[in-house]
Chains A and B, each alone.
Chain A
């Protein structure tokens, strides 16, 4: 399989601070690839370099077999972008936003007009065709941004935190649409810090921190290769004391975070039986998920 997006040794510094530090990436056609990482990990800078919007200090980026930023213009003719923050034209209606945006790709008005009904249908905005942007809800604006990114029928779509700030209904609708796009054979590169989003949507994921990729694989591979399969969360005022005395007996690995203890285990039977007898503690037994992997790899400290 040849890569639609490829980065080799990508590097970028701002004011002596290395934001992206030797990044290698290969994303294949038809794949939904997720880039995960805490705030400031370098995700957006990576996207901007792959789009050819900024030049890397070192390394090479290829987008649709074209070198970027050198041939970024040619490459972007076949690319759609959903940015992190909405930048729709507030003075325009829904349909005008699509028309004006299509013109930037050199499309003729008749060509864009012919696409607009399908795009509105896809974004569930048909009835909002002539509504002005400020009257739309947050979810509608995101859907319009997604429709706008599809105006040129792109092969590759970049999505920078596509569902941040949306309510669950709006998120589910976006996810459904993104799945439709991958089933049409489009390649998606998305950043997110919602682990459920990544787990549901992405065929492959890479976790990024401090400008480096620290782990890569399918959601299942990431979980299997990084973490024990079972998690038992223990809560209660005395959980810290309990952890000191007992946790190591039952769990391969445990972490204390405030009044919660996270125990990572191969087999939770013995631990659950023990906890059952501790009346002052509550517990939750669940399979390990991507969030556990993410916290293990990037730590629990705040990043601000």
Chain B
């Protein structure tokens, strides 16, 4: 691979007009989009919460519904960023050639990739805030500290957007994304403490869960939702930031290679 692919990202504010483009598109489909952000996670949360909740008196020192609420915010933010970075990102890069149009202007690929990540993280923010609103309305969290979930949703969004863009950079077609969702996203949902504590897993799987980004997101979210300062908060934030930064760089190198043909 050529050396110029490995140059460090050169960031500028020129990503902002692209972000505004995505925002304008989103505004046109806001209603179904908000419904999509809400319906799936809330149905899961309420279905499992009421159904299993009646069998399980408590989990991790709280009601099962409250336990699930924190996990639900995390996995719904993970999902929105991932879908945006993979499917919508691929559509803009490949199908609609939106990137090609933008790259003919005084905007660089670095700006385009940054705007994709920030936009997917914006979707996470919206999805996290929507689920959080339902949680507040249902009275599942009373702590003011749960407001910290909003910046956390953005951070989770950045990590999963950047991670997802690596797949987008490698994808020959949409079908390719099935590997990522089946082999990465779904296992994370089950291993990372969304539905039950990680400590219930066999030791080996606990080790695996320990390096996955969603585990660190959940470890921050659950204490915040119940008004407790998360233990080892800096470690978890650091891991999520590292996922975001390293994946951004890797995806950028891969996009540079892909689009230089």
A contact set with B: CB distance below 8 Å = 14, 51, 53-55, 73-74, 76-77, 79, 81, 83, 85-92, 96, 100-101, 103-106, 152
| Closest residue on chain B to residue A85 by CB atoms | B97
Pick 9 A–B contacts, CB within 8 A, sort by A: A53-B103, A76-B104, A87-B96, A89-B101, A91-B25, A100-B17, A103-B21, A104-B105, A105-B106
B contact set with A: CB distance below 8 Å = 4, 14, 17-18, 20-21, 24-25, 28, 96-98, 100-108, 260-261
Are A104 and B17 closer than 8 Å at their CB atoms?
Answer: yes
Chain A residues whose C-beta falls within 8 Å of the C-beta of B107 in the assembled complex: 73, 104
Given contacts A55-B4, A74-B106, A89-B96, A103 and B17 within 8 Å (CB-CB): yes
Given contacts A73-B106, A76-B106, A100 and B24 within 8 Å (CB-CB): yes
Give the distance in Å from the alpha carbon of A90 to the alpha carbon of B98 in the complex: 10
Are B24 and A92 closer than 8 Å at their CB atoms?
Answer: yes
Chain A residues whose C-beta falls within 8 Å of the C-beta of B103 in the assembled complex: 53
Give the distance in Å from the alpha carbon of A75 to the alpha carbon of B71 in the complex: 49
Chain B residues whose C-beta falls within 8 Å of the C-beta of A55 in the assembled complex: 4, 260
Are A96 and B24 closer than 8 Å at their CB atoms?
Answer: yes
Give the distance in Å from the alpha carbon of A104 to the alpha carbon of B108 in the complex: 10
Are B101 and A90 closer than 8 Å at their CB atoms?
Answer: no
| Closest residue on chain A to residue B17 by CB atoms | A103
Chain B residues whose C-beta falls within 8 Å of the C-beta of A90 in the assembled complex: 96
Give the distance in Å from the alpha carbon of A171 to the alpha carbon of B201 in the complex: 67
Chain B residues whose C-beta falls within 8 Å of the C-beta of A79 in the assembled complex: 104
How many Å from the CB of A294 to the closest CB on chain B? 27
Chain A residues whose C-beta falls within 8 Å of the C-beta of B260 in the assembled complex: 54-55
Are A73 and B4 closer than 8 Å at their CB atoms?
Answer: no
| Closest residue on chain A to residue B261 by CB atoms | A14
Chain B residues whose C-beta falls within 8 Å of the C-beta of A104 in the assembled complex: 14, 17-18, 102, 105-107
Chain B residues whose C-beta falls within 8 Å of the C-beta of A51 in the assembled complex: 104
| Closest residue on chain A to residue B97 by CB atoms | A87
Are B14 and A106 closer than 8 Å at their CB atoms?
Answer: yes
Are B98 and A89 closer than 8 Å at their CB atoms?
Answer: yes
How many Å from the CB of B19 to the closest CB on chain A? 10
Give the distance in Å from the alpha carbon of A88 to the alpha carbon of B28 in the complex: 17
